[in-house]
Amino acid sequence: MTSVEHDPVEAARDLAQLDGLAALRAMIAGELPPPPIATLLGFELVGVDEGRAVFAVEPSDRHYNPIGMVHGGLAATLIDSATGCAVHTTLPAGTGYTTTDVQVRFVRPITRDTGRIECAGEVVHRGRTMATAEARLTAGGKLLAHGTASLLILRPDARTGSTAPPASASG
């Protein structure tokens, strides 16, 4: 039994019916469910535009590591999500992507007292098969971390494993 209220694989199929920008806007509007990782870590997609995606989170005790501060994995996950979704906004319906690498640089510690964090990702370059993007994690106008990612763009047949178009949402 999973802790999410929807099947994430079915939700991904629904998301693939729309171009990337429309799909992410539908997620923000509540028309598509958030991914389980966002629910688990308590972050949300708060803004998108062509080539750009912004996530936000309020750090709390649940994000802490054993040394008394927010685990770096939260910042890394936000940077991976923001860079990936920034690229997603540029993709046509049915086209997917996967991160090939992420590099994160931590600048300041994050604690439960840091306040609301925003992570803005922007596409640096998008080719036919590869894309690069960068992201900045900030709170109160201060840089907390920044990073870059490379992403492999998956054609519809590579994403689904077939040459047939994706199944419609109705079946």
CA separation for the pair 135, 54 (Å, rounded): 9
In a domain, residue 54? The reply is yes
In a domain, residue 2? The reply is no
Residue 84 pLDDT > 80: yes
Determine the pLDDT at residue 15. Answer: 86
Q: How many domains does the chain have?
A: 1
In a domain, residue 45? The reply is yes
Residue 3 pLDDT > 70: no
pLDDT grade for 158, boundaries at 50, 70 and 90: low
In a domain, residue 167? The reply is no
CA separation for the pair 72, 153 (Å, rounded): 27
> CB–CB of 53/86 below 8 Å?
yes
pLDDT digits (tens, 9 = 90+) for 88-144: 999 999 999 999 999 999 999 999 999 999 999 999 999 999 999 999 999 999 999
Q: What is the CATH number of the domain that holds 73?
A: 3.10.129.10
In a domain, residue 24? The reply is yes
> CB–CB of 155/95 below 8 Å?
yes
Determine the pLDDT at residue 79. Answer: 98
pLDDT digits (tens, 9 = 90+) for 48-79: 999 999 999 999 999 999 999 999 999 999 99
Tally the residues of the chain: 171
- What are the residues facing 135 on neighbouring strands? 121, 147
Determine the pLDDT at residue 5. Answer: 72
pLDDT digits (tens, 9 = 90+) for 24-37: 999 999 999 999 99
Determine the pLDDT at residue 1. Answer: 33
In a domain, residue 23? The reply is yes
Residue 160 pLDDT > 90: no
Determine the pLDDT at residue 159. Answer: 52
In a domain, residue 168? The reply is no
116 lies in which domain range? Answer: 8-160
In a domain, residue 1? The reply is no
pTM, full prediction = 0.88
